[in-house]
A and B are shown apart, each in its own frame.
Chain A
Amino acid sequence: MATVKFDESTRIYPGSDTPAVDKLNIDIEDGEFLVLVGPSGCGKSTSLRMLAGLEEVNQGKIWIGDRDVTDLSPKDRDVAMVFQNYALYPHMSVADNMGFALKIAGVDKGEIRKRVEEAANILDLTQYLERKPKALSGGQRQRVAMGRAIVRSPQVFLMDEPLSNLDAKLRVQTRTQIASLQRRLGVTTVYVTHDQVEAMTMGDRIALLKDGILQQCATPREMYDKPANLFVAGFIGSPAMNLVTVPVTADGAKFGNHTVSVPREGANDGGSHVVVGVRPEDVELTTNNDGLELTVDVIEELGADAYVYGTPTDQNFTLEGGDDNLAKPFIARVDGRKVPAKGEKIYVYPKGQHMHVFNKESGARL
């Protein structure tokens, strides 16, 4: 087990001017589960592969424990890529399916048996060790595949979108299994995904990348409660945070005709406009002409709650993060017993101080 350190690590592909990964700095604790997340092309897989030794590091260094591994070959790093291949061999017992790679590596029989039994114990597969994979359920087969990586007892597990080709149901099952297993094993793990829900539910900490640059590295709670910039605010959370550009007056920011106090420091052009972010669950909904006026487009009933999708009546208010030219709706979560009607006019503003304020130009949190 070991710590991992990305130290100004940079990858520039030949023929490209902009780095795929730009001066990445992350310190991963011993036994930590770190998730690298971001949209496609953000550099998350490249970062993982730099750690694995599969991508060259052009500048900076990578450390595993107190070893500088920057120039070591993949084999000499003592890391294991999990789920590269989880085909199970039908004629081999579960024990052999888990241990055969050790046999290739020349580990002696007694040691293989010991490690397979330990892994089986952790994976609740002990009673199935002598069976053939055909006798196992889908989830158990998935655990056998995990066992294959566990028996190698590497210093670091690396997982690159391991769930991407599983069907939705198995994805959720396996997600939980991997997370709880990692905690039981206590092996430092770096996990890549494009799915923020996966990142939020699995990671001790999340590192969110965009265009090769680290946007924020924090616990899921902190990412959610204190996003460092507009991009993080829009990426983390589902449905996404409402991000509205509003004018600022001497009294505060004008959320329609509702005034909320906002910090001025760091706002651009003397603070005439800021972006206010409100999560759907932090929206105060009124009908008495207090707040930003919305026309209700769609109601999504969830039972106890409902999501209200609305469009600002005043077209000067636009929401950040809409795709292409499609206007993004404003989303509010409301009590399932007090749901407005479709087409109705409602008024919204941030509940209490549950809001996030960002510089309109730089996107930085104020």
Chain B
Amino acid sequence: MALELTAARPDPALLDLPWRTPLEDWPEDILAALPRGISRHVVRFVRLSGRVLAIKEIKDDIARREYEMLRDLRRLHLPTVEPFAVVSGRVGVDGEPLDACLVTRHLQFSLPYRALYSQSLRKGTATRLIDALAVLLVRLHLTGFWWGDVSLSNTLFRRDAGSFAAYLVDAETGELRNRLSDGQREHDLDIARVNIAGELMDLEAGGLLQEERDPIEVSERIMTRYRELWAELTAEEHIVETERWRVDDRIRRLNKMGFDVDELEITTDFDGTTIRIQPKVVDSGHHSRRLLRLTGLDVRENQARRLLNDLEVFSAATGRQGEDEEIVAHDWLARVYEPVTRGVPASLLAKLEPAEVFHEVLEHRWYMAERARHDVPITDALADYVAKVLPGKPDERAVLGVDTEELPVIADRNA
């Protein structure tokens, strides 16, 4: 059987990888890092043509299904890893057929939860991760994606102006529907809760949990955060006719949470005294889309919110609130944002993404100003940050894993 490669943009270098060898025996010199994490399957990371790829060995039909599913989810603008290829028709050197491989691109600057826990954590990281996962789950459910295996292990996190944004990594068990029933959403939530509690208990048992928090208590947060968010995004609201401003208020509340309303169903009751409103379709990324339109910067939601706030401060400080905002944004980009992000020496570029550096410099400036009890120019804050703070941070561009076991379930060799 011939090796078969399915990819949207195939990279010929992919063919040079040792596909005739079972993934667990791949030579260390081609691996980007020793793979770790809890997985049912063998997973390896390799460097290829300047990028890092994650390779998972699974059965052919499952690999193809997951590849297509990830492509569908990305077409729906959901935050997931990028599928790269399926390699099938593998045959070992002994002539025995080998399982197919699903290849995905490693998400730059993403962090597995275990890596986040292995660092000395800022207080509240556990809850911030759960909050990010709740947002992800709500977004997936709004689109009709039934995950089936929600867990911290199946999620990657990227820093987002001090909090986190969550990305789906494993879509193996997922299904896309028109809409999900309450039973299906509750099932996902129940799985999420049990998995999160299990994952945190495991860290606790391994002495890796820095914060003294009860795993069960933390795991409960996924339920409450999810339900709050779901209610805010989808609940219908009854408004007295004389309080029509509350329609606008609802939209603003949703925007503030980062969601855009595509459609708002408004019905007036029989005698016209009350209005019932229900947001029909909501999509997150309100601030990041606005920033993209104004500046061309493609960053995450909270980072965008932070940058937009700074843009507003800039606009007020320079007395240009009445001006065309795209022009002001262009100036802010050239005079404030870029000097800061370009001010990071090349040797420190792998520490954090530019937008996150900008956010941290703004934070740093605030602390400096508080100490000095007067305003600090951003150039001073940058110089101080680059000299004292940034060098002490770990490189996060390609964090692939930390010290945990890999436990794929495979047949007993001597059974």
Contact = CB atoms under 8 A, between A and B. Distances in A.
Contacts of B407: 87-88, 90, 133-134, 141
Interface stretch (A21-29, A31-39, A100-108, A342-350): A100-108
Interface in A65-121: 73-75, 84-93, 96, 100-101, 103-104
B38 A90 contact: yes
Interface of A: 14-15, 52-56, 73-75, 84-93, 96, 100-101, 103-104, 133-134, 137-139, 141-142, 145, 164-167, 169-170, 173
Interface string B298-309: 000000000000
17 contacts: A14-B178, A54-B181, A73-B186, A74-B187, A87-B153, A87-B195, A89-B202, A90-B38, A92-B201, A92-B202, A103-B197, A139-B411, A164-B59, A165-B58, A166-B411, A169-B411, A169-B415
A142 B38 contact: no
A286 B86 CA distance: 50
B412 A173 contact: yes
B45 to A, nearest CB: 19
A166 B62 CA distance: 11
A138 B194 contact: no
B124 interface: no
A104 B178 CA distance: 32
Given A54-B183, A88-B38, A100 B198 contact: yes
Interface residues of B, number: 46
Contact of A104 (B149, B193, B405, B409): B193
B379 interface: no
Given A90-B38, A100-B198, A84 B205 contact: no
Nearest to A103: B216
Contacts of A96: 201, 205
A167 B197 contact: no
A89 B409 contact: no
Contacts of B210: none
Contacts of B198: 89, 92, 100-101
A91 B183 contact: no
Q: Secondary structure at chain B's binding surface: helix, strand, loop or mixed? A: loop
Q: Secondary structure at chain A's binding surface: helix, strand, loop or mixed? A: loop
B410 A85 contact: no
A85 B202 contact: no
A100 B194 CA distance: 8
A89 B38 contact: yes
A164 B216 CA distance: 31
A22 B153 CA distance: 38
A14 B410 CA distance: 40
B201 A100 contact: yes
A281 B193 CA distance: 52
B99 interface: yes
Contact of A91 (B153, B187, B202, B410): B202
Contacts of A53: 183
Contacts of A87: 38-40, 151, 153, 195, 407
A15 B178 contact: yes
A134 B405 CA distance: 8
Contacts of A15: 178
A167 B190 contact: no
B44 to A, nearest CB: 17
B205 A167 contact: no
A173 B413 CA distance: 12
Given A104-B216, A170-B409, A89 B201 contact: yes
B80 interface: no
Closest CB pairs A-B (n = 9)? A91-B206, A90-B405, A89-B202, A170-B411, A169-B411, A91-B205, A137-B412, A87-B38, A92-B205
B205 A75 contact: no
B411 A173 contact: yes
A145 B409 CA distance: 10
B119 interface: no
Contact of B409 (A90, A138, A164): A138
Contacts of A89: 38, 198-199, 201-202, 205
A264 B191 CA distance: 56
Contacts of B38: 87-90
A90 B187 contact: no
Contacts of B405: 90, 134
A141 B183 CA distance: 30
B216 to A, nearest CB: 6
B276 to A, nearest CB: 22
Nearest to B216: A104
B148 A84 contact: yes
Contacts of B201: 89, 92, 96, 100, 103
Interface string B139-160: 0000000001101010000000
A145 B190 CA distance: 17
Interface in B195-214: 195, 197-199, 201-203, 205-206, 208
Contacts of A84: 148-149, 173, 191
A325 to B, nearest CB: 24
B193 to A, nearest CB: 7
B206 A165 contact: no
A14 B177 CA distance: 10
Contacts of B191: 84-85
Given A55-B181, A73-B186, A90-B407, A104 B219 contact: yes
A49 B219 CA distance: 26
B181 A138 contact: no
B255 interface: no
Given A87-B40, A91-B205, A75 B186 contact: yes
